[in-house]
Amino acid sequence: MAAFDPFNPLQNVKLRFTEEQLAEIIEYFDANAKPLLIIDDGAPVNVITVDKFIKFLELKKFHRRSFSYPTYDEIVKDAELLRAGVTRLLTKEQVIYMLEKRIREPEIRHELMLAFQVFDTEKRDFLEIDEIKTIVTSYGDVFNPDETRELLRDANVRGDGNIFYAEFIDCLFSRAPELYDIKVAFGGQIIKSKREDRAPLNICMLILTKIPQFRQSQYRRRTTARGNGPPLTRAAATTATPPPPPPPPAAKR
């Protein structure tokens, strides 16, 4: 393995940014870079200052669940590793490297627990059989009766009609530890798996992929409950006819 090159830090790094995120980073760099650094007597290289790098972090382009924002001391240590501790000038590759190392990868088990907590609107740490049945037959790609029965049989760990999802998740991963190989994006999208057409994986996919539809349903239910009819849209609110002014008080003689 080649030695770490502070001026080519990405040579052995597989980037985990999305194309959109990488484009935002490059766009910011190009807009703020100046040819201020000369490496090995070559032509001047475009760089940004450490202060500009901090300004980019302050834009909060990344969600805290998927990115660990560094402290000032951590930024200084990274700059020193990249031989920028004195010059405080960072090349494009160095900027990307410093951001890349702060990416947090989601973990399937944690994401599955969060998914159940989304459905558990009363925060009881369990869901009733009927609630699970409604979820799997009402949102997203619905399960057929056979798939529903299989899920409910596996999920009812205690046999009392309530699904304590922490126990259910423990049961899933003890039966199929290969589930840890599943790679997910934050929010539940499964992006990589070595398993196909297996019941535990189907259950994970089922729960995770139904979150957006469930949230939309909950939002519609809350907004409709605020009034007698459908929620007033912003356009309707701005064009609604104002109430007439109150009549003037009677004149005194």
The string of pLDDT tens digits covering residues 16-44 is 888 999 999 999 999 999 999 988 888 99
165 in any annotated domain: yes
What is the Cα–Cα distance from 75 to 116, expressed in whole angstroms? 37
Question: What is residue 198's predicted lDDT score, i.e. its pLDDT?
Answer: 41
Could you say which of 49, 72, 100 is where a domain stops? 100
CATH no. for residue 188?
1.10.238.10
CB of 165 within 8 A of CB of 127?
yes
Question: What is residue 236's predicted lDDT score, i.e. its pLDDT?
Answer: 37
Q: Which amino acid is at 109?
A: R
- Of 75, 63, 59, whose CA–CA distance to 25 is shortest? 59
Structural domain boundaries, residue 141: 108-216
77 three-state secondary structure: helix
Confidence of residue 190 (pLDDT cuts 50, 70, 90): very low
Q: Which letter does DSSP use for residue 4 in this model?
A: P
Res 177 pLDDT > 80: no
239 in any annotated domain: no
What percent of the chain clears pLDDT 70, i.e. is strictly above it? Answer: 65
Radius of gyration for the alpha carbons in the chain, expressed in angstroms and rounded? 27
Query: 78: how many CB neighbours lie within 10 A of its CB?
Result: 22
Query: 119: how many CB neighbours lie within 10 A of its CB?
Result: 20
Question: What is residue 33's predicted lDDT score, i.e. its pLDDT?
Answer: 95
**85 and 154 assigned to the same domain:** no
232 in any annotated domain: no
Confidence of residue 205 (pLDDT cuts 50, 70, 90): low
Query: Mind listing the pLDDT tens digit for each residue in 130-141?
Result: 887 887 777 666
**44 and 84 assigned to the same domain:** yes
CB of 62 within 8 A of CB of 21?
yes
Res 157 pLDDT > 80: no
Query: How deeply is 22 buried, as exposed, middle or buried, from its count of CB atoms within 10 A (0-12, 13-18, 19+)?
Result: middle
* Phi–psi pair at 49, nearest 5 degrees: -80, 165
92 in any annotated domain: yes
60 in any annotated domain: yes
What is the Cα–Cα distance from 53 to 28, expressed in whole angstroms? 9
Q: Average pLDDT in the 207-234 region? A: 51
Strands 162-163 and 44-49, sheet pairing: unpaired
62 in any annotated domain: yes
Question: What is residue 79's predicted lDDT score, i.e. its pLDDT?
Answer: 95
**29 and 73 assigned to the same domain:** yes
How many domains are there within the chain? 2
45 three-state secondary structure: strand
50 in any annotated domain: yes
- Tell me the DSSP string of 160-228: SSEE-HHHHHHHHHHH-GGGGG-EE-TTS-EEE-S--S-HHHHHHHHHHHTHHHHHHHHHHHHHHHTSS
CATH no. for residue 86?
1.10.238
